[in-house]
């Protein structure tokens, strides 16, 4: 009974946080630039350990040269590496992009798959990337995208005790309504960039402070 009551309180707090995030960032959306599901997949792979701003500087020339899955599947790996070099970990990213597009062409009839299980078969794709692509390319909400911002803020807000992204995602899926899973992540990312930074978070300016156990707000 105590556990049930504790969960109910945490869920109500989560819904209040969600409501405030919607008010704070009403126009929040995916900041990666893309025109097709394949391009979003590629941009999301490139965004690992890299800012969206940097990715958006790289992808115009990349997509001009290799606009679709067929072109990327047949790309010269060294040329691909050079085009994505500034995003970091470029050799691994180029290898995964090429291999993922080869699988899309050969196994999935030239289309980025619309099922999580199939998405996870693609090289370089874990749940974070799959959630982003399914949500923003197809409007399919099957999970919560957990990046470094979502991980940090969910822990600070007392919504999870885990550090593993899959376990964090599971906790958040229990607390939040499914239609809001992806916009929760997007808005939490905006808040992480603007206010709740990894170093020196601006707790005195945070409109979630009274709901945050980390700064003496509402506890769990």
Q: Which residues are catalytic?
A: 128, 147
CB of 169 closer than 8 Å to CB of 141 = no
Length of the chain: 220
Those residues whose C-beta lies under 8 Å from the C-beta of residue 204, and which sit 6 or more positions away, are none
Whole-number Å distance between alpha carbons of 169 and 2: 23
Tokens for 6?
Answer: 């504790």
Whole-number Å distance between alpha carbons of 18 and 22: 6
Residue 100 CB neighbours (<10 A): 25
Q: Cα–Cα–Cα angle for 75, 52, 19, nearest 5°?
A: 135
Whole-number Å distance between alpha carbons of 78 and 125: 21
Closest CA to 189 of 38, 13, 44: 44
Tell me, rounded to whole angstroms, the distance of Cα 195 from its chain centroid.
Answer: 18
Tokens for 195?
Answer: 């206010």
3-state secondary structure of 56: helix
> 181-194 and 127-138 helices cross at what angle (nearest 10)?
110
């Amino acid at each position: 009974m105590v556990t049930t009551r504790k969960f109910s309180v945490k869920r109500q707090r989560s819904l209040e946080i969600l409501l405030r995030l919607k008010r704070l960032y009403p126009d929040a959306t995916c900041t990666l630039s893309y025109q097709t599901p394949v391009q979003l997949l590629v941009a999301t792979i490139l965004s690992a350990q890299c800012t969206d701003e940097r990715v958006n500087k790289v992808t115009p020339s990349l997509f001009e040269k290799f606009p679709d899955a067929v072109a990327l599947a047949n790309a010269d790996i060294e040329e691909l590496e050079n085009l994505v070099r500034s995003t970091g970990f470029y050799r691994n990213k180029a290898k995964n992009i090429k291999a993922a597009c080869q699988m899309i062409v050969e196994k999935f009839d030239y289309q980025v798959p619309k099922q999580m299980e199939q998405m996870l078969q693609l090289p370089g794709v874990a749940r974070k990337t799959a959630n982003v692509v399914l949500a923003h390319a197809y409007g399919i909400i099957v999970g919560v995208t957990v990046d470094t911002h979502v991980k940090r803020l969910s822990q600070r807000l007392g919504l999870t005790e885990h550090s593993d992204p899959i376990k964090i995602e599971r906790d958040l899926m229990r607390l939040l309504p499914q239609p809001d899973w992806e916009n929760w992540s997007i808005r939490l990312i905006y808040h992480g960039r603007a206010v709740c930074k990894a170093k020196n978070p601006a707790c005195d300016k945070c409109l979630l402070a009274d709901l945050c156990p980390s700064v003496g707000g509402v506890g769990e």
